[in-house]
């Protein structure tokens, strides 16, 4: 088999991080994976940006191939669940962090980490959705299980112009919720309305003002991808028996809050783990995405780059300069 392209991240003796496309052989891939995949598309997530920069302690060993998501076609399999020609998707399981990931034309991984590509979805569609969209759907499913009604209930999405936020806005709107979108980028207001948001809220309008243990009850549900002070403030504004799904930490890991909203309003705060959730849950979420996420809305939230563009795009996503989803065409 001929050589293939991979975006390799290396660390020099002075701890500086370097990124370049290299030619590899199939034998260079990890030997203890049991499925070899021809990668068609990957995608760029915030965590990928961190791995590309070598920050956060996510990457343990160098050289390394980032890319926490990919979709492609099975070439070889030592596991009876998959055969050559099968289309598969991988998200999570710390692939792209401690295991070589999807920013390459081939990958070798464990069969347990894969899911079959669901009917009605292409490899491109799967990566336009990616971890971000899977997380958004798992959040919606969590709100449903908590009992949040869909008949026009007012729900909030923080970090709404990002990957998780954009898809959460579309999904919640399509399902009959009235969606308010928080953004720190006023120029993204029309984009968010096009995705289905009925109200655009400036970040400062939520964060400014006196901090109180409890505020006027506004929201029946919330998908929060920001964390930190934003999450703490949103919790004070939740309605009785409402719920917030916690899916990101772009605003910080620390959470300073008061127990009053939980005691007086019975609100729920639900962590969403898209990285290692059960196989059956993943399949349910992917089937829901194929059914409930309109392709025109997904396409409007998606841009495409090649491997050569990934390093620069990784810097942009860490700087908050990326809107929606970025698909990486590893063969471009």
Structure confidence by residue, pLDDT tens digits, 29-39: 999 899 999 99
pLDDT-based confidence at residue 42 (cuts at 50, 70, 90):
very high
Distance CA 141, CA 148 (A): 10
pLDDT at 160: 95
Chain centroid to Cα 108, Å, comes to: 22
Higher-confidence residue of 210 and 28: namely 28
What domains, with CATH codes, occur in the chain?
A: 4-117+301-329 (3.90.180.10), 132-271 (3.40.50.720)
Determine which helix (DSSP H) or strand (DSSP E) holds 190, and give its type and residue range.
Answer: helix 189-195
Query: Under 8 Å CB-to-CB from 189, ≥6 apart: which residues?
Result: 183, 200
**pLDDT(2) > 90:** no
DSSP states of 145-171? HHT---SS-EEEESSTTSHHHHHHHHH
Cα-to-chain-centroid distance, residue 16: 27
The rounded distance, in Å, linking the Cα atoms of 1 and 118 is 29
Task: Please give the pLDDT value at position 152.
Answer: 83
Quote the CA–CA distance of 245 and 88 in Å, as a whole number: 28
* 8-17, 73-82, 202-211: least confident range: 202-211
Mean pLDDT, rounded, for 78-89: 98
136: left (phi over 0), alpha (psi -120 to 50) or beta: alpha
* The predicted structure's pLDDT at residue 170: 96
pLDDT classification of 151: cutoffs 50, 70, 90: confident
pLDDT (tens digit per residue) in 217-254: 999 999 999 999 999 999 999 999 999 999 988 888 88
Nearest to 48 by CA among 61, 66, 60: 66
Percent of the chain at pLDDT above 70?
A: 100
Note the pLDDT tens digit of each residue in 247-264: 988 888 889 888 999 999
E strands, the chain, are 4-11, 17-24, 35-44, 69-77, 87-91, 106-109, 114-116, 154-157, 178-183, 199-202, 219-224, 238-246, 268-271, 302-306, 325-329
Q: What is the pLDDT of residue 38?
A: 98
- pLDDT of 253: 87
Rounded CA-CA distance 121/82 in Å is: 18
1 has pLDDT over 70 = no
Residue 206: predicted pLDDT: 86
| Mean pLDDT over the full length of the chain | 95
């Amino acid at each position: 088999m001929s050589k293939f392209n991979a975006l390799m991240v290396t660390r020099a003796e002075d701890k500086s991080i370097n990124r370049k496309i290299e030619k590899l052989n199939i034998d260079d891939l990890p030997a203890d994976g049991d499925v070899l995949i021809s990668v068609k598309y990957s995608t760029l997530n915030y965590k990928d940006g961190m791995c590309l920069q070598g920050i956060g302690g996510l990457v343990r060993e160098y050289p390394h191939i980032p890319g926490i998501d990919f979709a492609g076609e099975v070439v070889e399999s030592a596991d009876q669940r998959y055969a050559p020609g099968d289309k598969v998707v991988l998200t999570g399981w710390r692939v792209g962090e401690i295991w070589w990931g999807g920013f390459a034309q081939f990958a070798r991984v464990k069969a347990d980490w894969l899911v079959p590509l669901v009917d009605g979805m292409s490899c491109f569609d799967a990566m336009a959705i990616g971890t971000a969209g899977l997380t958004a759907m798992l959040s919606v499913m969590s709100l449903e299980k908590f009992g949040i009604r869909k008949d026009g209930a007012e729900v909030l999405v923080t970090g709404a112009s990002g990957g998780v936020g954009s898809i959460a806005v579309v999904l919640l709107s399509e399902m009959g919720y009235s969606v308010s979108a928080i953004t720190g980028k006023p120029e993204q207001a029309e984009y968010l309305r096009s995705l289905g948001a009925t109200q655009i809220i400036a970040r400062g309008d939520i964060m400014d003002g006196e901090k109180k243990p409890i505020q006027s009850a506004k929201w029946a549900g919330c998908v929060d991808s920001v964390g930190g002070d934003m999450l703490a403030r949103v919790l004070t504004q939740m309605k009785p028996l409402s719920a917030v799904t916690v899916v990101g930490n772009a605003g910080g890991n620390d959470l300073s809050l008061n127990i009053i909203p939980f005691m007086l309003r019975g609100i729920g705060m639900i962590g969403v783990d898209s990285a290692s959730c059960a196989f059956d849950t993943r399949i349910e979420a992917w089937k829901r995405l194929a059914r409930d996420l309109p392709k025109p809305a997904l396409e409007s939230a998606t841009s495409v780059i090649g491997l050569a563009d990934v390093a620069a795009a990784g810097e942009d996503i860490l700087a908050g300069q990326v809107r929606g989803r970025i698909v990486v065409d590893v063969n471009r």
